[in-house]
Amino acid sequence: MSTRFSIEEILETVSMLNVENLDIRTITMGINIMECRDSDGDKTGRKIYDKITHYAKNLVKVGEEIEKEYGIRIVNKRVAVSPVALVGEGLGREDFLRIGQYLDKAAEEIGVNFLGGFSALVHKGFTRGDLALIDAIPETLALTERVCASVNVGTTRSGINMDAVYQMGKTIKETAHLTRDRDGIGCAKLVVFCNAVEDNPFMAGAFHGTGEPECTINIGISGPGVVLNVVRKHPDADLGTLANIIKNTAFKITRMGELVGRVASRKLNVPFGIVDLSLAPTPALGDSVANILEAMGLEKVGSHGSTAALAMLNDAVKKGGAMASSYVGGLSGAFIPVSEDAGMIEAAREGALTIDKLEAMTSVCSVGLDMIAVPGDTPFYTIAAIIADEAAIGMINRKTTAVRIIPAPGKKAGEWVEFGGLLGRAPVMPVNPHSAENFINRKGRIPAPIQALNN
Amino acid sequence: MEEGKRLIITVLGHDRVGIIAGISSILAEANINILDINQTILQGFFAMVMVVDSSQSRLDIGELRRRLHEKGRELGLEITVQHEDIFKFMHRI
Report the mean per-residue pLDDT for chain B.
Answer: 89
Interatomic CA distance for residues A401 and A191, integer angstroms: 10
Cβ distance A70 to B82 less than 8 Å, yes or no, reads: yes
CB contact B20 to A (< 8 Å): no
Between CA B34 and CA A87 the distance in angstroms is 56
CB count within 10 Å of CB A10 equals 24
| Distance of alpha carbon A313 from alpha carbon A343, whole angstroms | 16
Q: Least CB-CB distance to B86: which of A11, A18, A70?
A: A70
Residue type, A250: A
Cα of A18 to nearest chain B Cα, Å = 9
Among B90, B91, B93, the strongest candidate for a mutation testing the A interface, having the largest count of A CBs within 10 A, is B90
Give the closest-approach CA distance of B90 to chain A in angstroms: 5
Q: Per-residue pLDDT tens for A267-280?
A: 999 999 999 988 88
The pLDDT assigned to A40 comes to 96
| Contact yes or no for A71 and B78 at CB 8 A | no
Minimal Cβ distance to B85: which of A1, A10, A259:
A259
Per DSSP, the residues of A286-329 read T--HHHHHHHTT-SSTTSTTHHHHHHHHHHHHHHHHHHH-S-EE
Cis peptide before A151 (omega within 30 of 0): no
Instruction: Check residue A1 and give its pLDDT.
Output: 39
What does CATH list as the number for A220-446? 3.20.70.20
What amino acid is encoded at A358 in this protein?
Answer: L
Residue A39: predicted pLDDT: 95
For A428, other C-beta atoms within 10 Å of its C-beta total 23
Class of domain A25-194: alpha beta
Q: Are A1 and B36 an interchain contact pair (Cβ–Cβ within 8 Å)? A: yes
Chain B residue with minimal CA distance to A66? B83
Measure the CA dihedral A164/A170/A173/A179, to 10°. Answer: -80
Please give the pLDDT value at position B4.
63
**Per-residue pLDDT, A22:** 86
Chain B residues with CB-CB distance to A11 below 8 A: 10, 12, 42, 47, 49
- Tell if the CB–CB gap between B90 and A255 is shorter than 8 Å: yes
Residues of B in contact with A10 (CB under 8 A): 8, 10, 49, 87
Q: Is A385 helix (H, G, I), strand (E, B) or coil?
A: helix
Looking at chain A, the domain(s) classified CATH 3.20.70.20 span: 25-194, 220-446
* Domain definitions of chain B by residue range: 6-91
* Residues A82-104 pLDDT 10s: 999 999 999 999 999 999 999 99
Cβ–Cβ gap A69/B81 under 8 Å: no
pLDDT at A333: 80
Q: Positive or negative CA dihedral for A360, A286, A324, A57?
A: negative
Q: Which residues of A309-344 are buried (b: 16+ CB within 10 A; e: fewer)?
A: bbebbbbbbbbbbbebbeebbbbbbbbbbbbbbbbb
Which pairing describes strands B45-53 and B33-42: parallel, antiparallel, or unpaired? antiparallel
Contact check, Cβ <8 Å, B61/A68: yes
Architecture category of domain B6-91 in CATH = 2-Layer Sandwich (3.30)
Going by their DSSP bridges, the two strands A215-221 and A24-31 should be labelled as antiparallel
pLDDT value at residue A365: 86
Look at B89 and A13 and tell me if their CB atoms are within 8 Å. Answer: no
| Cβ-based contacts of B86 with chain A (< 8 Å) | 13, 17, 70-72, 256, 259
pLDDT band at B1 (very low <50, low <70, confident <90, very high): very low
- B92 Cβ partners below 8 Å, 6+ apart? A4
B63 touches chain A (CB under 8 A): no
Amino acid letter for position A446: I
Instruction: Write down the pLDDT at residue A6.
Output: 85
CB contact under 8 A, B86 and A10: no
pLDDT of residue B3: 55
Half-sphere exposure of residue A159, counting CA atoms within 13 Å on the CB side? 13
- Closest partner residue to B35 (CB to CB) among A1, A72, A259 is A1
Q: How far is CA A252 from CA A115, A302, B90, in A?
A: 29, 29, 5
CA distances from B74 to A154, A160, A361, B79 (A): 59, 63, 49, 11
**pLDDT lower than 70: segments of chain A:** 1-3
